[in-house]
Structure 1
Amino acid sequence: MKRVITIILVVVVVLAAIGYVLNNNKKKAQETTDFIAKGSGAVAVKAANVERKEINLDFTANGTFAANQELNFSAENSGRVTKIFVEEGSRVSKGTVLARIDAEILNTDRETAEATYQNALKDLARHESAFKTGGVTQQKLDEVRLTAENAKLRLQQQQRKLNDANIRSSINGVVNKKLIEVGAVVAPGTQLFELVDVSKLKLKVNVNESQVANLKIGDAVEIQSSVFPTEKFSGKVTFIAAKADETLNFPIEVEVTNNVKNSLRAGMYGTALFKFPKQAPAILVPRTSFVGSVSSNEVYVLNTSKNVAELRKVVSGRILGESVEILSGLKEGETVITSGQINLTEGAPVTIIK
């Protein structure tokens, strides 16, 4: 019996709480309605004057520096590492010897290939002499000639492997990581060094659709780094994505020339300053003036003599931050409604909230 009474009390309390919440929401909704509709049925709205202003297309974008060239250097031959000539942090040029792999086996293979090639040349000479006197057929001579050619190719291959015993850098840069030690046995594909070239870097940033429309490959860009605020860096746009990413932004790459000290490093943050020539003044309205969205090309204009809203078709141009360029449909000095459009219809009386 007590349990039943407890359940009934709980249900009553819950119902009372729900009733209180609903009543409170109703009061808030009524307050909102009273705020929107003030005096004699007029809709409360906010408005802004249509003005002709100078357009500033300049903008900034933040991003991260990446190395212009980055190479994970791998072994091409098997063998034991006998010498290493660089350490992590060493600056190297293209062709610099980084390490040496034991060339004893490679030397043996090269000498064997040389001997095979010399024997093939002698054999070819004998068969060519015999062919002139009719001692061998053309088919046999062709077979011997092919054997000599294959022996020559094998010799060239072994010579290249022997040359590759000296591991040489293929780029100018810095040894970022050394992944081997003297005495280590490596196989083809074993990673040896990570080389990074920071004499030039790529600053990767994202821009929106209105910003990307003003960019082109080769545009000069000023670069700033918070780590080196007094240093001046310059760059140029080298890549503009043809497709927006999932956030509807467009990836951009700016090639940046480092200073003589190579102060900038891959992974640092940077800021790109995109600057454009001065633009002619244009008629601008707040982005919130449009009914629904900018693509609707509809705004409500205030008829100041009657204090009513009139729906107007316009042609929108560039979206410039929180403002939109108007190509036609509005005149300087008119007033557009910037909020409250959801409650408006053609000819609805309005009152302006300041």
Structure 2
Amino acid sequence: MKKVITIIIVIVVALGAIAYVLTNNKKKNEAKTAFIAEGGGAVAVRVATVEKKVVDLDFSANGNFIANQDLDFLSENAGRVSAVYVDEGATVRKGQVLARIDAEIINTDRETAEATYQNALKDEARYKSAFQTGGVTQQQLDQAVLATQNARLRLQASQRKVSDANIKSPINGVVNKRYIEVGAFVTAQGTRLFELVDVSKLKLKVNVNESQVANLKIGDRIDIKSSVFPNERFSGKVSFIAAKADETLNFPIEIEVFNNTNNSLKAGMYGTAIFNFPGQAPGILVPRTSFVGSVSSNQVFVFDGATKTSKLRKVVAGRILGESVEILDGLKEGEMVITSGQINLTDGSAVSVVN
């Protein structure tokens, strides 16, 4: 019995839903019929007056600051750390010694390379002297010269390793992390030594839409605000504009930001880019819905008040500015474009303007 009652309830609910949908569709059809009836036999349309307006292109975009340089400094030589001269938070300059690797083995290799090079020089001198008297062939002399060159290259490489025993900072920046201690052993395969971050300059990454990116170019000066420092003003310049939109149809851009003398801005903070553009000359704007089909069609219907008819007009569309479109050619200020009802129109159709 309960199952039968449940089935009846389900059927009643379904019939009620169907009745609601049919009633709602009937109301919509009646509204459309009433709209067309207002035209008195002509096609009922809505219109908008073509106006000249000043286009406000200013906008702002939020993003995150990232460090201009952020690198993990890796070891190049194997050895034991004999000294560490900086700690986390220390400000360092390019070329400053940060730590030192025990150079005993490295020095031994350099001394061996030096001795090999000196012997190669002596052998080359003897071969040259013997060649003058016919004691050796040209091939034997060439081999002696080649051996000298190879020995010199090995010596230079070993001297470089000795120099690299003093671990020097490759950039100006701050020691964000220190991964080594005195006595630790590092390998030549790249043990992490320090994380160095340069925040004297940062990059602010933001996304802009297609109408905004069209007005930007590399090198544009941009005002920057930080919510952490509301009373300070920072400046930057556009350093990168993506050539392709992302999956959200926005264009990533990067702004190079100059930090203040205290390096107050930190990587990871939020920032706002303020894009200000000089005053624009007034331009002709029409609603986006004026176009037949889409903006790319470059066709609109103009209402002819004298004959109460529609006239198909070819226009040249410019920028898309929200719900408005800039018209570069084809329309004059004061004309009236049809914004709805175009689907029922052809060139010369009788129309009736309704509110």
TM-score interval w.r.t. the shorter chain?
A: 0.7 to 0.9
SS of match in other structure, 2:231: coil
Farther-moved stretch of structure 1 (264-273 vs 10-19) = 10-19
Shift of 1:298: 2.4
Residue equivalent to 1:128:
128
Residue equivalent to 2:183:
183
| Deviation string, structure 1 residues 263-284 (Cα, Å, up to 9, x no partner) | 1122222222223332222211
Letter of the 2:175 counterpart: V
Distance 1:313 1:121 in 2: 86
Residue equivalent to 1:245:
246
Q: Percent identity?
A: 67
Distance 1:118 1:125 in 2: 11
Paired residues of 1:94 and 1:168 also in contact (CA < 8 A): yes
SS of match in other structure, 1:105: helix
Q: Residues 302 and 144 (structure 1 numbering): CA distance in 2 closer, same or farther, change over 3 Å?
A: same
TM alignment of 1:209-220, pairs within 5 A = 209-220=210-221
Shift of 1:260: 0.7
Q: Indicate whether 1:153 and 2:149 are aligned.
A: no
Paired residues of 1:81 and 1:102 also in contact (CA < 8 A): yes
Residue equivalent to 2:334:
333
Letter of the 1:224 counterpart: K
Distance 1:79 1:112 in 2: 18
| Deviation string, structure 1 residues 207-264 (Cα, Å, up to 9, x no partner) | 2333223222222222222222221211222222223333333222221111111111
Paired residues of 1:219 and 1:236 also in contact (CA < 8 A): yes
Q: Residues 286 and 18 (structure 1 numbering): CA distance in 2 closer, same or farther, change over 3 Å?
A: closer
Residue equivalent to 1:49:
49
Residue equivalent to 2:301:
300
Farther-moved stretch of structure 1 (219-228 vs 134-143) = 134-143
Letter of the 2:94 counterpart: K
Residue equivalent to 1:89:
89
Letter of the 1:279 counterpart: Q
Letter of the 1:349 counterpart: V
Letter of the 1:197 counterpart: D
Farther-moved stretch of structure 1 (219-228 vs 306-315) = 306-315
Residue equivalent to 2:24:
25
Distance 1:222 1:345 in 2: 50
Letter of the 1:352 counterpart: V
Shift of 1:38: 4.8
Q: Residues 214 and 144 (structure 1 numbering): CA distance in 2 closer, same or farther, change over 3 Å?
A: same
Q: Residues 146 and 90 (structure 1 numbering): CA distance in 2 closer, same or farther, change over 3 Å?
A: same
Paired residues of 1:198 and 1:266 also in contact (CA < 8 A): yes
Residue equivalent to 1:199:
200
Letter of the 1:338 counterpart: T
SS of match in other structure, 1:24: helix
SS of match in other structure, 1:229: strand
Residue equivalent to 2:268:
267
Residue equivalent to 2:292:
291
- Give structure 1 stretches of 5+ with no counterpart: none
Farther-moved stretch of structure 1 (50-59 vs 333-342) = 333-342
TM-score by length of 1: 0.87
SS of match in other structure, 2:139: helix
Distance 2:60 2:6 in 1: 63
Distance 2:183 2:343 in 1: 78
Q: Residues 159 and 45 (structure 1 numbering): CA distance in 2 closer, same or farther, change over 3 Å?
A: same
Shift of 1:168: 0.7
| Deviation string, structure 1 residues 93-144 (Cα, Å, up to 9, x no partner) | 1001112112111111111112222222233333333333443333323222
Residue equivalent to 1:72:
72
Distance 1:211 1:178 in 2: 43
Paired residues of 1:208 and 1:250 also in contact (CA < 8 A): yes
Shift of 1:169: 0.8
Aligned length: 352
TM-score by length of 2: 0.87
